[in-house]
Structures are given as structure tokens and as C-alpha cells.
């Protein structure tokens, strides 16, 4: 596949990712960033997205956790992005990249509770664009080329299963999203509003909306969401609302230390020593290292 010499848009995206990484380096003073720093700059964190911070589905695509993560993704983007930009054109390339990245974030939002960052969902979307190109223009590829492409996809998905802390759901959904949006808009020069493409365009919108709605419902019913909302209410000094969140969280999982910790102190402040005693006893049972709470139990008897 012949490539033009000028691929400014691919380089612009790489430049944005690298620039953000450099900014975080000066803030964190490290080449491996803390979760706090990543969250501050827009990492995917399910409770925050479920509470309305939908922009994290996009901002997380431009963050990387460490230098190895950045270099690996930018290397892949440089190789895949140039060909996709050449075949689809600059506007369609950026649409594919962003929509596939959103799909990747949504897959992670629904199926993974971990804090997540990285361009890999969007990069797998570029592989999805290759797959659409192969299906629509099979003569443009040799059998050897498509075998290599499928091997690359398979190896990367396998690595996502074997290696810890790799968000394979983002990869899979990014791949699917890249294929569907490529089908929806077509390669450079293709008509955009054929019956097939209109169907794919509607499918893209429906899948994004349905995935977002599903992710919100799933995560608002998780105990992690109750922790986040409860701590948010505490920061606003809304004690009653925070208490209700922690109680709701305990109904989902009675073995989460932080719920008993907060409820113990809330009830102690309210003067309800019996409830405070129950929560501190449970807290110490779960984690004996809470020595201060042991002392409080001794005091309140």
C-alpha cells in the first residue's frame, strides 16, 4: 500500500499525546503516573462517568500511564494511522479514530471497573478500518497481508488476556467500533449516504447510546459508585446524603472496609454509639490494622 509523504493529522494526534505526557511528567515528576494525576486529567473512572462526567470517555484516549505505554501506542499509531489516513482521507480518519476510541472507552466502562487510560481502543479501531477495507476491497490485499493483519489482531488480544492491567475490553470494542464507523462513512471517494451506509450510521449511534445507557445503569448499581458519591457528599458537608450512599453500598457488599469506616464515624458524631460500635467492630474484623478504631471501641465499650 503506497503512502503519501505528508500525514500531518497522524502526527498531530501523536503530538497531542506526547505533549500531554510531558505535561504530566512535570506535574508528577515521574515517567509512571499516579492514579490521582491520571484522574485529575481525565482518566476513565466508572463512578465519575456514571455521575455525568462523560468527557472522560474521550479524554482518557489521550492519556498514558507510563513511558512504555506511550511509546508502544504511538509506534502503533504511526504505522497504522498513516495508511488509514491515506486511504480514508483526513476527515474520515479522525472520525474513525475518535469514534473507535469512544467505543473502546464504552466497552471498558461497561465491563471493567479499573481506572483506564490509553489510545489502544482507538488504535484497534484503525485495525477495524483495515478489516472493512479488506471486506469492501478484497483485491487490494494479498492473502499474506490479511493473514498478517489477523495475526496482529490475534496476538494483541491474546496479550491482553495474558498480561495484567491491559484493558482487553477496550481493544475489542475499539476494533468493533472502528469496523462499524468505517462501514458507515466509507473510504475516500465513496458515497456516504447509500442504504448500507445509512444503516451503519444509525447502528453506530444506537450502539453508542445503548452502551452509554447500559454502562450508567450497571455502574450506578455498583458499590464503587456509592463510595464515590458518598465521599463527594462528605466533601460538600452533606452528611445525611453521604450516609445514605454508604448504607446503600453496604447492602451490595457488607465486606467493604470504607463503608464501615465512614458509617462508624458518622454515627459516632451523631451520638449513636451502638451503630458506631457495630461498624467499628466490623471494620476491625475486616482489617485489624485499624488500631485507632480499636481504641475507640475500648472507649465506648
User: Which CATH number is 131's domain given?
Assistant: 1.20.1540.10
* 39 within domain boundaries: yes
Dihedral sign, Cα of residue 149, residue 80, residue 19, residue 117: negative
Q: Are residues 36 and 59 in the same domain?
A: yes
Residue 167 is predicted with a pLDDT of 83
Q: Is a pLDDT exceeding 90 seen at residue 149?
A: no
Claim to verify: residue 77 and residue 210 sit in the same structural domain? yes
Tens digits of residue pLDDT in 209-254: 999 999 999 999 999 999 999 999 999 999 999 999 999 999 999 9
Whether 174 maps to a domain, the answer reads yes
Residues 173 and 142 in one domain: yes
Is a pLDDT exceeding 60 seen at residue 4? no
> Count of domains in the chain?
2
State the number of CA atoms in the 13 A half-sphere of 223 facing the CB. 14
Average pLDDT over the chain reads 91
Give me the catalytic one of 65, 105, 108, 120: 120
> Where does a domain end: 166, 189, 220?
220
Instruction: Please name the residue that has the C-alpha cell 474521550.
Output: 58
Judgement on whether residues 103 and 138 belong to the same structural domain of the protein: yes
Is 0.85 surpassed by the pTM of this model?
yes
Q: What is the pLDDT of residues 193-219, one digit of tens each?
A: 999 999 999 999 999 999 999 999 999
State whether 199 and 252 are in the same domain: no
Q: Is 52 within the bounds of a domain?
A: yes
64 is catalytic: no
Using alpha carbons, select from 289, 221, 229 the residue that is nearest to residue 259.
229
Q: Are residues 73 and 181 in the same domain?
A: yes
Please pick, among 65, 105, 108, 171, the residue that the annotation labels catalytic. Answer: 171
Full domain range(s) for residue 268:
223-300
Residue 232 sits in the same domain as residue 101: no
Active site residue 211: no
CA 123 to chain centre: 14
Where is the domain boundary, 220, 235, 252? 220
Contacts of 226 (CB under 8 A, 6+ apart): 245, 246, 248, 249, 252, 259
Q: Which one of 201, 220, 239 terminates a domain? A: 220
Which residues lie closer than 8 Å to 204 by C-beta, 6 or more apart?
A: 99, 177, 180, 181, 184
3-state SS class at 76: helix
132 and 91: one domain? yes
Amino acid at each position: 500500500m503506497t503512502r503519501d509523504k505528508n500525514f500531518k493529522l497522524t502526527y498531530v494526534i501523536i503530538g497531542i499525546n506526547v505533549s500531554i505526557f510531558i505535561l504530566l511528567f512535570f506535574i508528577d515528576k515521574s515517567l509512571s503516573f499516579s492514579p490521582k494525576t491520571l484522574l485529575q486529567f481525565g482518566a476513565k473512572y466508572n463512578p465519575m462517568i456514571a455521575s455525568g462526567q462523560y468527557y472522560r470517555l474521550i479524554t482518557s484516549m489521550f492519556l498514558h500511564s507510563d513511558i512504555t505505554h506511550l511509546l508502544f501506542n504511538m509506534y502503533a499509531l504511526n504505522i497504522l494511522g498513516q495508511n488509514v489516513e491515506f486511504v480514508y482521507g483526513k476527515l474520515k480518519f479522525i472520525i474513525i479514530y475518535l469514534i473507535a476510541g469512544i467505543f473502546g472507552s464504552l466497552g471498558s466502562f461497561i465491563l471493567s471497573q479499573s481506572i483506564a487510560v490509553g489510545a489502544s481502543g482507538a488504535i484497534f479501531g484503525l485495525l477495524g478500518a483495515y478489516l472493512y477495507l479488506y471486506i469492501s476491497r478484497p483485491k487490494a490485499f494479498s492473502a499474506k497481508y490479511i493473514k498478517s493483519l489477523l495475526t496482529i489482531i490475534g496476538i494483541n488480544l491474546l496479550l491482553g488476556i495474558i498480561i495484567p492491567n491491559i484493558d482487553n475490553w477496550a481493544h475489542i470494542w475499539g476494533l468493533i467500533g472502528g469496523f462499524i464507523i468505517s462501514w458507515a462513512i466509507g473510504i475516500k471517494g465513496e458515497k456516504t449516504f447509500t442504504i448500507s451506509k445509512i444503516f451503519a450510521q444509525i447502528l453506530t449511534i444506537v450502539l453508542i447510546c445503548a452502551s452509554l445507557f447500559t454502562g450508567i445503569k450497571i455502574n450506578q448499581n455498583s458499590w464503587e459508585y456509592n463510595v464515590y458519591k458518598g465521599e463527594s457528599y462528605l466533601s460538600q458537608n452533606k452528611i445525611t446524603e453521604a450516609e445514605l450512599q454508604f448504607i446503600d453500598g453496604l447492602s451490595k457488599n457488607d465486606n467493604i472496609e470504607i463503608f464501615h469506616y465512614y458509617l462508624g464515624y458518622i454515627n459516632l458524631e451523631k451520638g449513636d454509639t451502638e451503630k458506631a460500635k457495630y461498624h467499628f467492630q466490623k471494620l476491625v474484623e475486616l482489617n485489624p490494622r485499624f488500631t485507632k478504631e480499636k481504641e475507640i471501641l475500648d472507649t465506648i465499650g
